[in-house]
Chains A and B, each alone.
Chain A
Amino acid sequence: MKHLAILAALLAPVPALADTDPANWDAVTAAADGQTVYWNAWGGSTTTNDFIAWVGERVMADYGVTLEHVKLTDTADAVTRVLSEKQAGENDDGAIDMIWINGANFAAMKEADLLFGPYAEQLPNWAVVDAEGKTVQTDFTVPVEGFESPWAMAQVVFVHDTADMPDRLGSMQALQDWAAANPGRFSYPQPPDFLGTTFLKQVLVDILPDPSVLADPATDENYDAVTAPLWAYLEELTPNLWREGKAYPATGTAMFPLIADGELDLSISFSPGAASTAIANNELPPSIRTFVLDKGTIGNASFVAIPYNSGSKEGAMVVANFLMSPEAQARAQDPEILGYGTVLNMAALSDDDRALFDALELGVATLSPAELGTVQAEPHPSWATRIADDWMTRFGVSE
């Protein structure tokens, strides 16, 4: 990991934390009142943007915290920003107070001591989080250790238009065969987009006889041998992709209009409820359904983290805690709003709070928790980084 080594080289002594103790919640809320929190979050999804605006209204009403959504095209921009600030000696009031983060970006920031914490497990709503049943204490196999707090669960689902493609597929090999029979009707976002990279990982996880090797960091010794089947698979698939793989959609949501127009019959999404939400917003036709593979699909959690140099850490903790509240979680799971999976443990909720979730109509295209089946673990982030780099060399510069 070249960049981790460089990040490590950046390690300067972090100034002593004169911040409010996260465990002293009254002190946190008192300090948060009047603070402005700049939440850097991917801004490519209008439904997510609407949800974040609603969160802003709620934390303003309850805690006097002003929430500003800084819309990113790539979360790595925020990581770069914090790094630049550290280089420039801006250690007290950086531009970023909170980041929607996971995976490689989290690993990089945690490794370089760019994050505030641990705080997540001191937040009051941590008590109702499903820490046992959901992968909220590891992030792509990297231990979280309280440096980020979860707010949504994601799992890969395949989105298909039943008007053109009535049946689900059971495996990546079935997808290969289907694409050969229906050329030009499938695509995935261009890596290093996270969903595109996830598709590559999903291929690997599904076609490897034993994917457990992915739980450990990739090494120079095993990388080539482990990923060889993936490249063989893609060599065969690419000519049958949309535009013969000469162009790719930029992101996951950019594939919705392509499905709506009938350019694509099949695509993937990292949000089991997104298809239902898109139907509600006229972005997809009502004939859309989703499915998962026989062996299950990759899942992970979305987190928020607080940079070490935020000037509004208390405000950010208030927002992070609110995001884990039953009210926010139930709203996020509503397919009419967002359709994200909840991080909460239903058994730990009060009857009233559980009723919020029971009342939700999951939507025509959303699979029930039982139908979502087995959640496969994310590979160690080193795999994603290397696979995405490799993909860019092999397929990202097609003559």
Chain B
Amino acid sequence: MNRRRFLPVLPILTLLAMLGPVVAGLWGTLLPAFGHLPAAGLTGPSLDPFRDLFDWAGLPRAMLLSISTGLLATGISLAIVMLITAGWSGTKPFRALERLLSPLLSVPHAAAAFGLAFLIAPSGWVSRLLSPVVTGWDRPPDLLIVQDTWGLTMTAGLIVKEVPFLLLITLAALGQADAQRSVVISQALGYGRLTGWLKTVFPRVYAQIRPPIYVVLAYSMSVVDVAVILGPNTPPSLSVQIIKWMSDPDLAMRLEGAAGALLQLGLVIGALIFWRLCEHAMARLGQRWIASGARGRFDPVVAQGALAAGAICALTVLFGLVVLTIWSFAGFWGFPDALPDAFTWRNWMRFGPGTLEALGETALIAVTVALAALILTIGCLEAEYRFGLSFSARAVWLLYLPLLIPQTAFLPGLQTFMLSLGADVGRVPVMLAHLVFVLPYVFLSLADPFRAWDTRMGTIAAALRASPNGVLWRVRLPMLLRPILTALAVGLAVSVGQYLPTLLIGGGRVETLTTEAVALASGGDRRAIGVYGLMQTGAALVPFALALLIPALVWRNRKGLRHG
């Protein structure tokens, strides 16, 4: 293949694959939001949908839930990750935590949320282990922990999942930030490890991980599956309510849902702007802090606290998986028994065949989509490097559009669009829909390490008569093996975890582990949830294990490349 001709087309193709569906879907949302839905005999423009939306008594609380969970989950997870990295990177406890947290990234949000619920509910495992000896309870207390009105449990469920995500992203960025030497120099100047890292390395690392942070913010504000499992329902968060409106047989409710979707979009944009302003404020404060010359008297305390918080996140997900495992094998398990009366294979016999079928579908979709996304991404980045096609600042924002726009805002519109094209529902359209979400994640994971690659390596290789392709294949990609595999694993995990696109675009005919698990969730059968949650986790775990294992194996005799 003639790469020179093929390569320049890839960025356009990539943008089309990502933005085409978004634009089409938004169009399908925008019109109904202003009362225009010819299919239902309604023609706009009209502000009635917004009037109905603002008449909904639950709206203030639903909006507040969206904002508070988003900001809290993002802020707290970012603080934990930064402080852990600052206080411990390069130490033994850090490597232990890294080894513990990284695979936990692969645990799908739904499975982690179920695990958390099974742990901390009034009848959860923690309560069972402590009862009746410590607590005196012989039946579960009537406490509103899961589905609490303020969404704190939902926020916690998001934090335990975002901490591993941000840590892995930070690790990928760390190799480019020249952290080690900065910390050594600052320590030589008498700064504590943590303070020295924050003052010298943090600004550089933050610049690299900023886009993923924005994505975490947008995602946390509009998440659906975690909110359904852990969040309140009286009222639910805005995105959950949007889905309810959108699936109402009363078509008029779609108008209200579309208006809600635009509001959700506005909230996300507002929160991103707020976050950006906070960055400026933090930068100013940070400069003053740096100028003050404080060496970090409280470093050890803060570092201990951060490590403890990180460990709690890891242990929560881990023990959540343990309790899912126990439920999947449980016979009758009454309260307050610490363990079931009996362990049985019956649950696995019942649900095993169904999970295997769903696993096949899940894997087929995920592998195809993640590989396609990876090829497009590398092609894009290489074209950008070779032909100087650099995206303008505005174009970069277009890239993040699918992640910053709530899924609820454009997927139902996209469904109508695909149908009107005559595209049949089924696996291939689902793959295309997944690609919309997988591509940006893969791009986000890979772009910064790829661009931060020291191009002098390329110059040296070219001086040694390597062709541009030779530089790409023999120097650049091997050096970037770790971020590439990470990006691939992220892509797989993102695809595995997709619920709404699979359900809506698949017309219900494409059954992945995630759609099956969420369908079961409403029934509350903890044994079935255990089986499906574990299978879902397994589907995403293997790629991440490989993303860590392969660079370690390949670079076992290239020490300098191990963190590249």
Question: CB within 8 Å of B: which residues of A?
Answer: 2-3, 6-7, 9-10, 38, 40, 43-46, 49-50, 53, 68, 70-74, 76-81, 83-85, 87-90, 95-96, 104-105, 108, 164, 183-184, 190, 242-251, 253-258, 260-263, 282-283, 285, 393, 395-399
Contact = CB atoms under 8 A, between A and B. Distances in A.
Contacts of A244: 142, 144
A94 to B, nearest CB: 8
Contact of B249 (A40, A80, A190): A80
Interface stretch (B11-19, B166-174, B273-281, B330-338): B330-338
Given A72-B519, A397-B61, A253 B334 contact: no
A85 B251 contact: no
Given A88-B416, A285-B332, A397 B522 contact: no
A70 to B, nearest CB: 4
Given A84-B419, A87-B416, A253-B524, A10 B41 contact: yes
A57 to B, nearest CB: 12
Nearest to B331: A282
B142 A80 contact: no
- Which 6 interchain pairs have the tightest Cβ spacing? A254-B524, A44-B523, A3-B250, A397-B58, A9-B41, A95-B507
A79 B524 contact: no
A46 B523 contact: yes
B247 A76 contact: yes
Contact of A184 (B123, B138, B142): B142
A395 B246 CA distance: 21
A247 B233 contact: yes
A85 to B, nearest CB: 7
Contacts of A263: 122-123, 139-140, 142, 335
A164 B334 CA distance: 14
Contacts of A283: 525, 527
26 contacts: A3-B248, A10-B39, A10-B251, A40-B508, A43-B523, A44-B520, A44-B523, A46-B351, A46-B527, A53-B354, A71-B520, A72-B519, A77-B503, A108-B249, A247-B233, A247-B234, A248-B233, A248-B234, A250-B522, A251-B524, A255-B524, A257-B525, A260-B333, A262-B335, A263-B335, A282-B333
Interface in B483-539: 503, 507-509, 511, 515-516, 518-528
Interface string B129-149: 000000000111010101111
Contacts of A395: 234
B519 A71 contact: yes
A207 to B, nearest CB: 24
Contacts of A396: 58, 233-235
Contacts of A7: 251
Nearest to B426: A95
A165 B34 CA distance: 53
Nearest to B342: A282
B417 to A, nearest CB: 9
A258 B415 CA distance: 37
Given A71-B511, A262-B138, A283-B525, 19 more contacts: A43-B519, A46-B350, A50-B350, A71-B508, A71-B520, A76-B247, A77-B247, A79-B249, A80-B248, A88-B416, A96-B507, A183-B142, A250-B522, A253-B523, A260-B332, A282-B333, A282-B527, A396-B235, A397-B56
Nearest to B228: A250
B40 interface: yes
Contacts of A10: 39-41, 251
A104 B41 CA distance: 21
A155 to B, nearest CB: 20
Nearest to A2: B252
Contacts of B464: none
